Amino acid sequence: MRPGPLKNTIITVVFSFLSLMSCTYSTIYPAWFQQKYKAVDPIVFQGFGIFNFYSTQKLDSPFYASVTTLSYKEYCNKDVASPNWMLGGDAQFRNILCGYSLKAVQYVSFFASLFAAFGLIASIAACFNPAAGWAERMLSSTTLIASLLLLTALILWAIRIQQRMLEIDVISSAYILCKKDDTKWSCWFYGYSFWAAIGGVVGMLITMYTSSAGRAEKIRHFRHEYEADLAVAMQQSMEANGGVGNTGAYGQQHNMPTQHVPYQNSVKGGIV
């Protein structure tokens, strides 16, 4: 088979890979909800992810920060003393970080990354499979599932996690101070990981579109090949039938002039 165009199929691999990276980054990096204080160097960063809390350095004013990484699993499963940066808000934090809503976000995000990985494998397989078939179907279905799962995680976080975190005393007070002097702050808001997850959903939608375009591209290529081969076969058949009529019988082709021998060799095994 003559190699057909694979432009959209290759583009699909690129967007599938980028979507997987965005999904994985949003799952791992603790920055779904974050704030930064820019008046010091280096900038103080605090961020809540779906598995961990992360803070870059110590700061006592205008809010309390410390160099720490807090695993929610350890915090919830062990009798761990509340960190200093919680400033007595342990019960409020524990209610959210150990609740079912956050566990749902964790599981949903994990499976979104898993299905996105299956989609990437299918997109690579589509490049090596000349026919439009199982690879495109698997890619479309896994990418659709991954995008729906990641979108669900985003909605759950926005409604069930972040809004409740803004009601925690220590976060609420820091947010109020930030609004009074926002030139030195990046207030508590959706973080890098949240926007990366949105980018992952958009990338998956583009992946599904380019996958459909790549499938149509393969179908058009095969149709053009079929039409070209059919035209050649019909032309050869017409020439062969014309040759038979001039000699009077099929068996007399052995007595045809020598200039017809190359033609007979060229269509050997074809329609004569």
How many angstroms separate the CA atoms of 252 and 238, rounded?
Answer: 18
The domains located in the chain, with CATH, are 7-216 (1.20.140.150), 224-266 (no CATH)
Residue 81 per-residue DSSP state: P
- Closest by CA to 63, choosing from 154, 183, 188, is 188
Contact, 174 vs 164, CB < 8 A? no
What is the reported pLDDT for 38? 87
- What φ, ψ does residue 22 adopt, rounded to 5°? -65, -45
pLDDT score of 216: 66
* Closest CA relative to residue 119, chosen from 164, 159, 149, 157: 149
**Helix, strand, coil proportions of the chain in percent (round to 5)?**
70, 10, 20
State whether residue 269 is helix, strand or coil: coil
Find which of 35-44, 125-134, 180-189 is predicted with most confidence, using mean pLDDT: 35-44
What is residue 223's predicted lDDT score, i.e. its pLDDT?
62
Is the N-terminal amide bond of 257 cis, ω within 30° of 0? no
Alpha carbon distance 186, 22 (integer Å): 22
Examine the pLDDT at 6 and tell me if it is beyond 90: no
Predicted confidence at residue 265, as pLDDT, reads: 39
Averaged confidence pLDDT in the chain = 81
Residue 252 has pLDDT above 50, yes or no: no
Is the pLDDT higher at 257 or at 234? Answer: 234
Q: If you average pLDDT over each of 3-7, 103-107, 232-236, which comes out highest?
A: 103-107
Q: Residue 54 belongs to what H/E stretch?
A: strand 52-55
Q: Mind listing the pLDDT tens digit for each residue in 154-177?
A: 999 999 999 999 999 989 988 888
Instruction: Give mean pLDDT, residues 244-248.
Output: 50
pLDDT at 1: 39
Alpha helical stretches, state H, 157-257: 163-165, 169-180, 192-247
186 pLDDT more than 60: yes
Which of 174, 160, 64 is CA-nearest to residue 108? Answer: 160
